[in-house]
Amino acid sequence: MSGSQQLRRFRIAHRAGSSIEDAARLAGMSLIEARAWAKDDAENPPPADAYRPLGAAYCASCAHLPCGCFDAHWIGGRA
């Protein structure tokens, strides 16, 4: 497994198209940390499991990972 729940939320939101600023806000992460992670992820892409929220099941609506909809309809996860 790769990363904290906060980092995973940031990665999912950013990969789904949110700006670094918006993804940081959604994840509750500082902008400085978010920029550092975005740079690191661009240079060293994380494994696929880094985009799955800890303890979450597959998305009930999208049936795939990652979908970026963790706040709307993840099942079995921790909000």
DSSP per residue over the chain, as a string?
Answer: --S-HHHHHHHHHHHTT--HHHHHHHHT--HHHHHHHHHHHHHSPPPGGGGS-TT----TTT-SS--S-HHHH-SS---
pLDDT single digits (tens) 15-37: 989 999 999 999 999 999 999 99
Give me the pLDDT at residue 51, please: 84
Give me the pLDDT at residue 79, please: 37
Query: Which amino acid is present at 9?
Result: R
* 0.75 surpassed by pTM: no
Give me the pLDDT at residue 48, please: 85
Bin 48: left if φ > 0, else alpha if -120 < ψ < 50, else beta: alpha
pLDDT single digits (tens) 43-79: 999 998 888 877 665 555 554 545 555 554 443 444 3
